[in-house]
Structure 1
Amino acid sequence: MSPAVGGGGERRATRPPPPAPRAPAPGRARGPRRAADPAAPDRLLLDDGTGAVYLPVPVNPDPVDATGAGDCFTGTTTARLALGDPLVDAVAHGMAAASLSVSGRGGTGRIPAFEETAALAAAHRPNTL
């Protein structure tokens, strides 16, 4: 972070804007048509093969245990793709489910209902979706 001077002369930290979305290089090098890459703690870079977009990561304010969050992300994303959701929607639901899942202890401590997952995903949708 770079320091900035506010109107009253005080110094505060500012975050530089994210770079323009581009295909995740490590994923692209292996040849998949689509790739998702955690670009930063607060966003995920998703490339659907036609273009890339940053998706904001829903932050859980009261995390307890991250065990199983990746499984929750993968399972929810895969299920939504199997049901016919577009990739960007499936990944948004996967991130929301994973974020909610860390509220419980252990891999099955918190499995959110889809309604709750969908509401969180919708609340964190960027303007580009």
Structure 2
Amino acid sequence: MALSIDQKRLKATKFPPEFDKKVDREEVNMPLIKKWIANKITAILGDEDDIVVETCYNLIDQDQFPKIKEIQIQLTGFLNKETPNFCKELWILMLSAQENPKGVPKELLEAKKRELQEEQVRATVVAEYQQC
């Protein structure tokens, strides 16, 4: 029996070791992850593309335990050479999120913390400048 094109690609593609770990979507704050997906795809493509974003959402939402290897194969036609990096980042975030009781990846928490600290520094500089 002949393998489908996607099955052949799955067998031929070398995936990072993180892809061997399962993610339970129910343990992940999916609205937050979906926001990250939309922002990242927009950054990769240079423009908003609802079709690609929705396709990614649908692939992630198909199973309680998404199959990232299959998702990467499916997204390749849209994200081309950026697909492996996108999928690896996504999977690392989802793995991290399922370890957090609130389902939030520690990487996104750290990024938000840095953003707030930078805003505080800017506000301090502006306040000091206005006093001069």
Q: TM (normalized to structure 1)?
A: 0.34
- Higher Cα Rg: structure 1 or 2? 2
1 or 2, which has the higher strand percentage?
1
Q: TM (normalized to structure 2)?
A: 0.33
Tell which has more relative contact order, 1 or 2 (C-alpha 8 A, sep 6+): 2
